[in-house]
Amino acid sequence: MPSPTVLVLLLLPLLVGLYFAWTFLLLLLRQARSPLRHLPGPPSPSFFMGNLREMHDQENNALVARWVAEHGSTFVYRGFIGGCRLMTTDPRAVNYIMSRGYEYPKPDFVRDSLASMAAGYEGLLTAEGDMHRKQNPAFSATQIRSLTPIFWEKAVRLRDIWLDITASPKSFFTPADPLAAPEESPQQPGDVDPELQEPASPRPALSPSAVTTSFLPNPFSSFVPSKASPTLPSVIKARSAASSSSAGALGNAPCRLDVLPWLARATLDVIGEAGFGYAFGALEAAAERRESESELARAFGVIFGTARKFRVMTILQVWFPVLRAFRSENAAMQEANATMRRIGMELIEQRRAGVSEKVERSGSESEKAGAIEGDKTVLDRDLLSVLIRSNISEVPTQRMSINEILCQISTFLAAGHETSSSSLTWTLYALARSPSVQAKLREELRSVPIPAPLSNGRHPHPYPSAPDSADPSLLDHISQLPYLDAVVRESLRLFAPITTTMRMATADDVIPVAAPFVDRRGRTCTEIRVRRGDIISVPIQALNKGTGEWGPDAEAFRPERWLEEGEDGDGDESEKGGKGKGEGEGEGRRRVQGLWGNMLTFGGGTPVNGNRSCIGYRFALSEIKVFLFVLVRDLEFSIDPTLEIEKKVNVVTRPCVKSEPHRGNQMPLYIRRVPPSPASPVSPVSPVSPTSDYYY
Ligand code: HEM
């Protein structure tokens, strides 16, 4: 008779084998019984991978449009081992799903990926049910307005750096993505034009600029073989791009600049300071050619870098939940998490102490309320402060735990950094491709009078860079400029940073559709039947470009469409956490009821059944507008018309040059400073000596 230990050793592999075989069988059974199997859809090219490989490149191969043309607005594609995934562009179905945030949450594998990206399971992106209900903050327009000086300051700093670059292109370098994982830095021959490299200023060994931090990481995208490692972008001799015809006449040759890492740094600085009162100093580090990042940026670099790495184990954990118990953290990850926690706790404690002190010192009830609600004298205006103040005012059982608050810091960063930099990058691209739109926009921006001071010291630019001197009425004015608004809407429609989101049915359900469809059995269906556990893809970008909704020129960048009669450009349709629009599935509504601008770029939903749309949309819109205002007034953007730019999605959309895959993500534009127009109502610029960096 074998000993118990031997018995266990003999039985263990058998039990493990049985567990995996059983789970796999259940999975196959579940798929075989899903009503989705009757829906039409494209053939699956692979048993294990289904259509996932094609899906990975969907932004460049117009896949969803093709599928819609072939199979109608409601169909299924295949996921792992042939699992049916519902995809629908039917507005009624989409409104139904998106307005039931708690009945249709994000699938577990998406939550897991988000959680591993530092947000944990208690942040807004990942929390579900009561925990989410309790958190659901609404950042008011007034709160966001008070943050615009921070946007202004960072935008002016970036503009000044870019003006520096145009003034002496020989000496600039392109920084790395501030949150890129630090280890790899393969430098390729030919990265740097030797003629333009200054021998006296050795370049620091930088990490690649192309690594993406993703918002809703798609664990399956990693299955697609990666391109060669990205390399350092280079200083490339300015050459005349077709669209920069006026450059020579002004004696102001444009220089090629990869705007992507610069914008990533600027938006990191913004979310750090406006989100949770932390100075990453990412722009400054790059301006001073320091590779060293702040302690917190380094920690997030490690955390995001680890979360992005593909491991077979990650996929297995999706299907075999027992394996989730074997998650481990390496030493670097442990250290990064500890750093994040320590700094996060300091930030939280500072704010909590500030609010308590103010409340204690307040005499009357109204003063107490003022202290909690926040005013200009209470603490900081960052989102974390707003969250803590509103948390203090809640009844104790409704308050967030320290851990939940801590999770929001990484959530703000994960959700609010790369989305904004992606939007700005694509907007500059769209403007570079449409010189007439850019010129019209600049004309509008320059029609705004800028108050004194005329110069911000070294740079003779006619507006201030100090945050407190940014005139609030000027910032309000910027947010209401009609053509700027139309440009931002059009860019966010065509270049939604998050192109797809996923949901999972938590119960068997029947989803209504506006357009009946014919299933594989030839039956006409007026609803979609789903079974508990079925996965749903909501193709945000495809919906934003549907010709049924946006007309035959849906693919074109045409801001004017927002100014035409009949377009209700009104934005804040359904206030996050506010009143909402109702169920959002009424007949006769042509469009998807997104949070903003009749599109799903910021998600959609109603507070009734769980609103999972973007809490940062006002923040993002204000940030984007202020940056465009500052940058486009003084700089002209053009692009080599022969370059083919592709969209790489992971899940935030980043650009890539088709002919330069080895460079990874990049957006090489030509920039050129633009002299002030004589007709501009801008106050006159102080005379500049010829030795100054800038002269017009
Ligand atoms: C152009 C910029 C941005 C875009 C396009 C964007 C888009 C989105 C989308 C589509 C969702 C819904 C995701 C889903 O349903 O699966 C979302 C959620 C969210 N966003 Fe944004 N976002 C942007 C900027 C920001 C900023 C600046 C912040 C923070 C300051 C932020 C914080 C969040 C959070 C916390 C959620 C989760 C909300 C919830 O589940 O309750 N976002 N965003």
Task: Quote the ligand 1 centre to 96 CA distance (angstroms).
Answer: 19
125 CA to centre of ligand 1 in angstroms = 8
Work out which ligand 1 atom sits closest to the CA atom of 123.
35
With 60 as the cut, is the pLDDT of residue 535 above it?
A: yes
Per cent of the chain over pLDDT 90 is 37
Using the atom order of ligand 1, give the atom closest to the CA of residue 620: 27
pLDDT at res. 119 = 65
How do residues 6-52 score in pLDDT, each as one tens digit? 888 888 888 888 988 888 888 888 888 899 999 999 999 998 889 98
Residue 425 has pLDDT above 50, yes or no: yes
| Annotated binding-site positions for heme | 614
CA of 416 to the centre of ligand 1 (A): 7
**Does position 215 have pLDDT exceeding 70, yes or no?**
no
Q: Whose CA is nearest to atom 3 of ligand 1?
A: 419
> Which residue CA neighbors atom 37 of ligand 1 most closely?
125
- Which residue lies with its CA nearest to atom 43 of ligand 1? 614
Q: Whose CA is nearest to atom 17 of ligand 1?
A: 614
Cα-to-centroid distance, 615 and ligand 1 (Å): 6
Residues with CB under 6 A from ligand 1: 106, 124-125, 216, 275, 383, 411-412, 415-416, 419-420, 423, 497-498, 501, 601-603, 612-616, 619-620
| Residue 250 alpha carbon to ligand 1 centre in Å | 42
Ligand 1 midpoint to CA 617 (Å): 7
Q: Assess: ipTM above 0.95.
A: yes
The alpha carbon of 616 and the centre of ligand 1 are apart by a number of angstroms equal to: 6
Mark 115-146 as b/e (b = at least 16 C-beta within 10 Å): bbbbbbbbbbbbbbeebbebbbbebeeebbbb
Atom of ligand 1 nearest to the CA of 600: 10
Q: Residue 583: its pLDDT value, please?
A: 39
The pLDDT of 81-85, averaged and rounded, is: 89
Ligand 1 center–CA 415 separation, angstroms: 6
Among protein residues, the one with the nearest Cα to ligand 1's atom 19 is 614
Q: What is the mean pLDDT of residues 139-165?
A: 90
Question: Is 93 or 328 the better-scoring residue by pLDDT?
Answer: 93
Overall average pLDDT of the 127-131 stretch: 85
In tens, the pLDDT along 95-112 reads 999 999 999 999 988 888
Phi-psi category of residue 591: left, alpha or beta, with phi > 0 → left and psi -120 to 50 → alpha? beta
- Name the residue with higher pLDDT: 483 or 54: 483
pLDDT of the residue at 474: 81
Count Cβ neighbours within 10 Å for each residue of 507-544 and write b for 16 or more, e otherwise. Answer: eebebebbeebebeeeeebebbbbbebbbbbbbbbbbb
Whole-prediction pTM: 0.83
Q: What pLDDT digit, counting tens, does each position of 304-361 carry?
A: 777 666 666 766 777 777 777 776 677 888 888 889 889 999 999 888 887 766 666 6
Q: In this prediction, what percent of the chain has a pLDDT beyond 70? A: 72
pLDDT tens digits along 380-409: 788 998 888 877 766 777 788 888 899 999
pLDDT of residue 268: 93
What's the whole-number mean pLDDT along residues 284-305?
81
Percentages helix, strand, coil for the chain (3-state, rounded to 5) are 50, 10, 40
pLDDT band at 436 (very low <50, low <70, confident <90, very high): very high
Using the atom order of ligand 1, give the atom closest to the CA of residue 417.
Answer: 27
Residue minimizing CA distance to atom 40 of ligand 1: 612
What pLDDT sits at residue 299?
Answer: 86
pLDDT at 312: 67
Report the nearest atom of ligand 1 relative to the CA of 106: 16
Cα end-to-end span (Å), the chain: 95
Kind and range of the H or E run holding 529: strand 524-530
Question: Which residue from 614, 621, 653 has its CB within 8 A of the most atoms of ligand 1, so it is best to mutate?
Answer: 614
Indicate which atom in ligand 1 lies nearest the CA of residue 408: 35
Q: Which carries the bigger pLDDT value, residue 37 or residue 573?
A: 37
- Nearest protein Cα to ligand 1, atom 18: 614
Separation of 475 CA from ligand 1 center, angstroms? 23
CATH architecture assignment, domain 134-180+251-496+613-673 = Orthogonal Bundle (1.10)
d(CA 398, CA 392): 10
Looking from the CA of residue 136, the nearest atom of ligand 1 is: 41
567: pLDDT strictly greater than 90 = no
* Residue minimizing CA distance to atom 39 of ligand 1: 612
Kindly write down the DSSP assignment for every residue of 543-557, as one continuous string: HHT-HHHH-TTTTS-
Query: Closest residue (by CA) to atom 16 of ligand 1?
Result: 501
pLDDT of amino acid 194: 31
Among residues 622, 624, 680, the alpha carbon closest in space to that of 476 is found at 622
Q: Which ligand 1 atom is the nearest neighbour of the CA of 621? A: 1
Q: Which atom of ligand 1 is nearest to the CA of 624?
A: 1
Task: List where CATH 1.10.630.10 sits in the chain.
Answer: 134-180+251-496+613-673
Asked whether the predicted pLDDT for residue 443 surpasses 70, the reply is yes
What confidence tier does 373 reach under pLDDT thresholds 50, 70, 90? low
Look at residue 181 in the predicted model and tell me its pLDDT: 56
Tell me the CA–centroid distance for residue 69 and ligand 1, in Å: 30
User: How much is the mean pLDDT over the chain?
Assistant: 77
Structure confidence by residue, pLDDT tens digits, 461-519: 444 444 444 566 888 889 999 999 999 999 999 999 999 999 999 999 999 999 999 99
Is residue 597 predicted with pLDDT exceeding 90? no
pLDDT (mean) for 225-252: 36
| pLDDT at 67 (0 to 100) | 95
| Partner residues linked to 635 by β-bridges | 673
Distance from C-alpha of 550 to C-alpha of 157, rounded to nearest angstrom: 37
Can you say which residues are annotated as belonging to the binding site? 614
pLDDT digits (tens, 9 = 90+) for 668-696: 999 999 987 655 444 333 322 222 222 11
Q: Indicate if the pLDDT at residue 115 is higher than 90.
A: no
207 CA to centre of ligand 1 in angstroms? 27
Residue 12 has a pLDDT of 86
Structure-token pair, residue 603 = 């998600």
Average pLDDT over residues 234-242: 33
Q: What is the pLDDT of residue 190?
A: 30
Burial (CB < 10 A; 0-12, 13-18, 19+), residue 684, is exposed
The pLDDT of residue 669 is: 96
473 versus 624: the higher-pLDDT residue is: 624
